[in-house]
Amino acid sequence: MNEDRFKESPLLTVRAREFAGVVVVAVEGEMDVDTADIVLDALRLGFESPSPAVVADLTGVSFFGSTGISTLITAHELAGEYGTDFHVVAPHRAVKRPLQVTGVVDVLSLHDSVDEAVSALKPVPSE
């Protein structure tokens, strides 16, 4: 998969690329009611790909409210339907704190970097 750029709004940019065999959907800007569908559409395309996992990289997200939370929950459910692992990168307070306060962090696989998320997908060799 080459880097794909999705429909943008003045408040949001979404790009998808392959990294270490998984689809990484990088989101920059504000995730709100006007932009959530763009993010969900990009994640859905990732789930439909032959990749075993999709990582939502929210490092560049500056605003994240209830609609963002709902979008991630929907994506988590879609991942289950497609049989795809779903991981979220959220190193900054703007995203991490709402996920912690609502308890959604207990449902999602949350990481501080794309490298950390990809490493979590790799099986650890047994002795």
- What's the CATH class of domain 4-121? alpha beta
Q: Tell me what percent of the residues of the chain surpass a pLDDT of 90.
A: 85
As a whole number of angstroms, the distance between CA 84 and CA 39 comes to 17
**70-118 confidence digits (pLDDT tens):** 999 999 999 999 999 999 999 999 999 999 999 999 999 999 999 999 9
Token pair, residue 30, equals: 């504000």
pLDDT at site 3: 57
| Whether pLDDT at 127 is above 60 | no
**40-82 confidence digits (pLDDT tens):** 999 999 999 999 999 999 999 999 999 999 999 999 999 999 9
Question: What is the edge-to-edge ordering of all strands in the sheet holding 12-19?
Answer: 4-5, 12-19, 22-31, 53-64, 85-89, 109-111
